[in-house]
Amino acid sequence: MGINRRFMLQMAVAAFGLLPLLGRAPPVPSAMTRLRALVPQPRSAHRLGRAYLAHYPGEEGPGRLTRLILATLGLDEGAVAVRGEPELRAALATRIRDDFATAQTVMVDGWILSRTEMRLYALWA
């Protein structure tokens, strides 16, 4: 039997799953990675994010954006790590609606958008 790509992938997944048995915890995704994973359409997020950063160039940089988003959510990296995806989504959704309620909005190309959601998209820019 030849070693094919599918077999190699299966082996890699198995090895990853064995890590805890070897005393090695799987790497914890960073807050930035977790936030980026919440965005459903990266290509569109990229375009929106670039448009946002054209207006707010001082916020460019995934680290800076992540800190700004976490600050508005009242979370730190550790808190993000332990929250499940639905909980994170809910916190962001609440924050986004609060942005509109408190006029924390940005106008990009005429669109009135939440600052938090645009920062989130800018993570893909």
Partner 1 sequence: MGRFAMFVDATKLPQGETIQADICIVGAGAAGITLARDMANGHRRIALFESGGLEYSDETQKLYAGESVGQDFPPLEADRLRYFGGTTNHWSGGCRPFDALDLEGWPFGREALDPYYRAAQKILQLGPFAYDPKEWEDGNDQPLSFGAQSRILTGIFQYSPPTRFGTVYRRDLERAEAVTVYLSANLVDIDTDEHAREVTGLQLACLKGPRFRATAKYYVLAAGGIENARLLLTSNRVQKAGLGNGNDLVGRYFMDHADVFNAATVLFNDAYPALAFYNPHTVRGQNVQGFLFASADAARREGLPPFCIGIQAGSMPDKELAKKSLLAVYHSIAEGHVPEHLGFHLVQMARGVEWAADDIYNRLRRNRPRVFSTIYSCGAPPDRDSRVTLSDATDALGVRRVRLDWRLPSDFEQSMQRAHEILGEELGRAGLGRLRINSAETGPSPMQSIENAHHHMGTTRMDRSPSQGVVDENCRVHGIANLFVAGSSVFPTYSFDNPTMTIVALALRLSDHLKQLSA
* Site residues (vs partner 1, CB under 8 A): 38-41, 43-45, 47-48, 51, 89, 92-93, 96-101, 103, 105, 107-114, 117, 120-121
The torsion angles phi and psi of 100, rounded to 5 degrees, stand at -65, -35
CB 46, min distance to partner 1, A: 9
Between 19 and 90, CB nearer to partner 1: 90
Residue 22 or 103 with smaller CB distance to partner 1: 103
- Within 1-125, residue ranges assigned H as helices are 5-18, 31-37, 42-55, 62-73, 77-82, 85-101, 115-122
Nearer to partner 1, 24 or 89 (CB): 89
To partner 1, the closest distance from the beta carbon of 114 in angstroms equals: 6
Q: Which helix (H) or strand (E) holds 111?
A: strand 111-114
The answer to whether 108 and 122 are in contact (CB under 8 A) is: no
**CA-CA distances (angstroms) from residue 58 to 1, 52, 61, 63, 119?**
56, 11, 9, 12, 12
Smallest distance, partner 1 to C-beta of residue 84, A:
14
Least separation in angstroms between residue 63's CB and partner 1 is: 20
